[in-house]
Amino acid sequence: MSGSRETTEDTPRASVPTEANVTEQPKKMNIIYIVYLISALDITWMFLQFSVTPYLAKKLGFDTLWFGYLQTMVGIIQLIGGPLFGRFADIFGARAALSLACSSTVVFFLLLAIAESPAMLFLHKLPTVFMHVLPASQMVVADLSEPEKRADALSKIGLCFGIGMIAGSTLGGHLNTRYGETFTACFGAVGSAFSLLLVLKFIPKTTKAQAPETNTDSENKSKSIFNLGEIIRLMKFPGVKQTFVVKIVAGLPSGIFQVMFSIIALDFFKLKPEQNGYLMAYFGIVSMVLQGGVIGRLTARYSENSLLLLSIAVSSLVGLAQAYMQNVFQFCLIVIPMMFSLSTFNVITDSMLTKTVPSSDTGTMLGLCASVQSLLRTVGPTAGGFLYVNYGISSIGLIQFVVNIAVFVHLLQRRLKKTAEQKE
């Protein structure tokens, strides 16, 4: 059943026009560029709120433990919301999905602006269940890009991430210092409203190619957002389970380091707030260079399986280096291969997963991918805190080294076995 469905979806995809008549390549590219802009703005607003929430939480009497609970709550909410939002995007289209995500961001900032108690600070996190601008943007890019160019197109969203990281961190710091948390949150609400206007003006209702012969299937297919069976169905496509397991297992150790970085910067590196800001800007610059000028060229020259192996191998070496680093200068050197492995790993796995399912299900698949990141953010603070307090920063790096080496050897053996079978 799944095989015939995949053939039906894939065969006429290039020749059948979408509802919005976006089959012309120039028109497709214009929409993709607008999506890149929306993504960069969304990341800008998110990093802008990073300059508000910690200081507001401190004013409201939050200690490190309760702030951790706040972050874990976000991870759990987005873990649940990711697949549901992906289903919503597949059923109602790109414009509806991005409109919902941007509208939720507006509500998020408005609630943050009026947060005057710990309960309100927790309450303002509830809209994050639908705040999935990046997965929705990835869905549009995946729908409108050619399969062989999909990884390159998706990597450009990482470039937008770097731009937004630098702009949001810088803007948020200046606004918060000069005008306070409330004004900064209101600025984020206005900015998110502008993103919403861009969506309504430039994004077509749907960006998916619909084949005439799939109309009967679509009528029989459940339109419920909460249909767990439709979500589980995607796991039955060939290669999906294996790629998801690799994405979770290989991504968990590096995810732990990411969620623990604010503590590492403060406690291990002894960085002051302004120094931490410079380091974040450095992250953004490295990310922009790698995702804008390196990863795209690699995807055009090498296969996705080869790049996946490369990213996991580099990640293992990064973990080993992190285990023995002593100062922030050494970490700045490690950042380059670290960002390369993270960016390549995420882009390649997302691209591989969207290619294994019909185009009508790319939103749900990318929602599941977003849930993997939410899972890492949920588990990461507890696991990372335990490791860091009891065994030090070296334990996190060594675990990353061992886990990624094991995954690399496993994937390499499977690839060699498959190559040998093909030769026979």
CATH code, domain carrying 99: 1.20.1250.20
Residue 108 falls inside a structural domain: yes
Contacts of 349 (CB under 8 A, 6+ apart): 243, 246, 247, 308, 369
424 residues of the chain, pLDDT tens digit each: 334 333 333 433 443 444 444 447 778 889 999 999 999 999 999 888 887 887 788 788 877 677 777 877 888 898 888 888 888 888 888 899 999 999 999 999 999 999 988 899 899 999 999 999 988 998 898 888 888 888 888 888 878 888 888 888 888 878 888 888 899 999 999 999 999 999 999 999 888 765 444 444 444 445 666 667 777 788 888 888 888 899 989 988 888 888 788 778 877 888 776 677 678 778 888 888 888 778 888 888 888 899 999 999 999 999 999 999 999 999 999 999 999 999 899 889 988 888 888 877 888 888 888 888 788 777 877 788 788 888 888 999 999 999 999 999 999 998 888 888 777 7
Task: Give me 299's structure tokens.
Answer: 């995807």
Question: In b/e form, how buried is each residue of 325-343, taking b as 16+ CB within 10 angstroms?
Answer: beeeeebeebbebbbbbbb
- In 242-398, which ranges are E strands? none
DSSP 61: T
Residue 406 falls inside a structural domain: yes
d(CA 350, CA 311) in angstroms, rounded, equals 14
d(CA 374, CA 129) in angstroms, rounded, equals 11
d(CA 384, CA 393) in angstroms, rounded, equals 9
Residue 3 falls inside a structural domain: no
Residue 129 falls inside a structural domain: yes
Work out how many domains the chain is built from and give that number: 1
DSSP 17: P
CA pseudo-torsion sign 263, 268, 272, 276? negative
What is the per-residue pLDDT for 274? 66
Count H helices, E strands: the chain?
18, 0
Residue 223 falls inside a structural domain: no
* Number of Cα atoms under 13 Å in the Cβ half of residue 3: 0
Note down the domain range covering 382: 18-210+234-423
Residue 33 falls inside a structural domain: yes
